[in-house]
Amino acid sequence: MSIQVLSSEIVNQIAAGEVVERPSHLVKELMENSLDAQSDQITVEVSEGGRFVRVQDNGSGIFSSDLEKALQRHATSKITQTDDLWNLHTFGFRGEALASAAAVSQLTLKSIHKTEKKPSQIESVFGKVAGVKPSSQSAGTEIQIENLFENVPARLKFLKSESSEISQIKSVFKALALAHHGVEFKLIANGQLQLFYPKRATRLERAADVLEKKVLFEAQSQNSSFNCHVVFSSPHDVARTSKQIWVFAQNRWVQDRAIITAVMDAYRSLLMHGEYPYAVVWLECKPDEIDVNIHPTKSQIKFQDPSGAFRAVHHCLRQALEKAPWIPQNLKVDMQADIARANAGDGSPFFAESQTLKFTDHTLEQTHFKSKSFASTAEEANNSSSAFSVTSFSVPYQERAEIGVESRVMDSVSTEGRQTNEVRGYWSSLQVLGQANLTYIICQKEDRLVFVDQHAAHERVVYESLMRSWKNNNFQVQSYLFPLAIDLSEEKLEVLLKNSEEIQKMGFEIEQLGPESLGIKSAPHLIKDSSLPVVFERMAQDLLNSGGSFAIEKKISDLFATMACHSVIRAGQSLSIAEIQQLLQSMDEFALSSFCPHGRPVSVEKTFTELEKLFGRIN
């Protein structure tokens, strides 16, 4: 068969298959056109699983003389020359959406430009365009799509159920609402109002609306290449899929696995397997450092510096998480009166002075579901005769080979520089009641009971102590008489050598021994020699995937987490009150003490109100 030039009808249907793959893509394109028109009120109506779509806005509108051109392929007001592709400030720029939609549906376009007095409209029936005529549109633009894919049965049969398609449309709607907090959005599905987002002053407020979360936190960071703004949830508040991680580049909703990985890695040691955070990431860079023209639906992008983008998101979110904003970390509890009462008693730090109370005494009523102060001073806890140390750890000899701990490692983490504040933090302000099942520490606050997993709590303390020593270079480095050789692929060898300066800051000195051989000239004393091949193999893979010194720290973090798990207080181990208080006091030193290094929660709370309901005291 000889080469034929395809008809415009076939060309338009091919283009429609790329741009309008399913109804949600069409809704996205039409809503983005409304946003480009500076609309601040957008209403979307859908039915029949998205085969009927109507989008109304109050934007600047389209000139009546431009209506016919609006339905032609590659007709746009967004760009005029090639260089504009690298300096985009709009969502649309190809001029394909309306033409593609018109080719596979019955389309009606109504609009009135803000400088004109009379509205106009134009219709297209599966690509056959009628002339422009007067309309009744009062402001902005209205686009109505009917019988989508009616003339393309092959495309029509690949549509999913109505509920599934509507769900996809909702996702697109939510994404655009997250990107534009100053715009009012309304979604009507099958005649019923499904979603409504009023204008908001901040991204945090809009994120709370869309994610349906009352408590969220935010962080921002800026460097020479990227501006990053993140809204995120507490590790206590998680989803079961990654669908609640929303990524925006240049305020454009995109699917970027690397950025999602950066978010998940920032939550490292805070989430259990199968848990995902609620997070919204806005990442901005110079227009010429990002390519948005690599996918027909513009859902994928390419950064000139993908590693820089990864690091920007990871650094911004990790720093915010390490402050643990969900915990009243800076809680200042005035314990002076309690300490004075405890010291004024019989000399015991744990028992208050005995009193005789009358049944009619108001003081007796105050003891219901409460307790007299059992507070002890920090000095008494520190001077306890117990040999227990919350930061000490030892690893059984038979386990050291498994987790890569050198037998010469210190049996305790240095506590030099630790200070005890007279004013206590969140954990040390808890009143210790005792220990249950030799596993759970029972404490109380003013309005609730707090159960602390002693193994998980001590595990976090030791892990953070190890990481702090590591980051402060408070460790010994051993040099080898002959370099330890590790076989790696050329690609992995190259990326390790490229990052040799960052690696050296972590205590490793490396060199190339051959085309596929890496030499380790020195390494930290904490890491066993036999574990180095695995460490560098995984480190190289992470550097290839994401880049940056965080990949090195991640491998060290994994090792330390395993070391801590195998070396701390076990379930079933008896602790004295003084030992418990010392553990709680040490937890206050680290912001992330709410979780063990593997993401398990350290504590569970039960309010007195819940207990009273269980006992039938209140309804």
Pairing relationship of beta strands 245-249 and 279-284 according to DSSP bridges: parallel
**Per-residue pLDDT band at 138 (split at 50, 70, 90):** confident
Evaluate whether 336-400+411-469+573-614 and 476-565 have a shared fold. no
pLDDT at 292: 75
pLDDT at 360: 52
Residues 437, 564 contacting (CB under 8 angstroms): no
Q: Taking Cα atoms as reference points, which of 130, 140, 129, 138 lies closest to residue 30?
A: 140
Helix 532-545 crosses helix 490-498 at what angle (to 10 degrees)? Answer: 80
Mean of pLDDT values over 231-259? 92
Q: With a cut of 90, say whether residue 333 has pLDDT above it.
A: no
Q: Taking Cα atoms as reference points, which of 316, 373, 575, 565 lies closest to residue 456?
A: 565
How far, in Å, CA of 308 to CA of 329, rounded? 31
pLDDT at 23: 92
pLDDT at 83: 59
Residues 71, 33 contacting (CB under 8 angstroms): no
**Per-residue pLDDT band at 212 (split at 50, 70, 90):** very high
- CATH architecture of the domain 203-322 equals 2-Layer Sandwich (3.30)
Give 100: exposed, middle or buried? Use CB within 10 Å, 0-12, 13-18, 19+. buried
Given the candidates 1.20.140.10, 3.40.50.720, 3.30.56.10, 3.30.565.10, the CATH classification of the domain at 8-197 is: 3.30.565.10
Residues 450, 496 contacting (CB under 8 angstroms): no
Q: With a cut of 60, say whether residue 293 has pLDDT above it.
A: yes
**Residues contacting 57, CB < 8 A, separation 6+:** 34, 37, 39, 41, 42, 43, 140, 141, 142
Task: Compute the half-sphere exposure of residue 5: CA atoms within 13 Å on the CB side of its CA.
Answer: 1
Residues 68, 132 contacting (CB under 8 angstroms): yes
586-617 b/e (C-beta count within 10 Å ≥ 16 → b):
bbbbbbbbbbbbbbbebbeeeebeeeeeeeee
Enumerate the domain spans of the chain: 8-197, 203-322, 336-400+411-469+573-614, 476-565
**Rg (alpha carbons) of the chain, rounded to whole number:** 31
pLDDT at 430: 92
**Residues contacting 305, CB < 8 A, separation 6+:** 225, 289
Residues 248, 279 contacting (CB under 8 angstroms): no
Question: Where is 265: in which H helix or E strand?
Answer: helix 257-266
pLDDT at 562: 74
Instruction: Give the tokens for residue 604.
Output: 């569970």
Name the region of 67 (left: φ>0; alpha: ψ -120 to 50; beta: rest): alpha
pLDDT at 369: 42
pLDDT at 82: 60
Question: Where is 128: in which H helix or E strand?
Answer: strand 128-129
pLDDT in tens, 388-443: 455 544 444 344 444 444 433 334 333 444 444 445 688 989 999 999 999 999 99
pLDDT at 282: 96
Q: With a cut of 70, say whether residue 340 has pLDDT above it.
A: no
Please state, in angstroms and as integers, the Cα–Cα distance from residue 361 to each residue in 104, 337, 356, following that order: 83, 22, 10
Q: With a cut of 90, say whether residue 223 has pLDDT above it.
A: no
Tally of CB atoms within 10 A around 99: 24
Task: Please tell me the pTM assigned to this model.
Answer: 0.70
Residue type, 167: S
Instruction: Give the tokens for residue 516.
Output: 């596929």
3-class SS at 443?
Answer: strand
**Per-residue pLDDT band at 326 (split at 50, 70, 90):** confident
**Residues contacting 309, CB < 8 A, separation 6+:** 226, 249, 258, 259, 262, 283, 285, 303
pLDDT at 561: 80
Residues 349, 376 contacting (CB under 8 angstroms): yes
How far, in Å, CA of 354 to CA of 345, rounded? 8
How far, in Å, CA of 198 to CA of 406, rounded? 59
Residues 604, 594 contacting (CB under 8 angstroms): no
Cα dihedral: 493, 495, 501, 506 (round 10): -80
pLDDT in tens, 184-194: 999 999 999 99
Mean of pLDDT values over 350-358? 42
Average pLDDT, the chain: 80
Residue type, 271: L
Pick the residue with more confidence: 79 or 378? 79
**Per-residue pLDDT band at 591 (split at 50, 70, 90):** confident
CATH level 3 topology of 476-565: Ribosomal Protein S8; Chain: A, domain 1 (3.30.1370)
How far, in Å, CA of 587 to CA of 581, rounded? 10
| CATH number of this structure's domain 336-400+411-469+573-614 | 3.30.1540.20
Give 325: exposed, middle or buried? Use CB within 10 Å, 0-12, 13-18, 19+. middle
Lowest-pLDDT choice from 65-79, 175-189, 237-251, 499-513: 65-79
How far, in Å, CA of 285 to CA of 288, rounded? 8
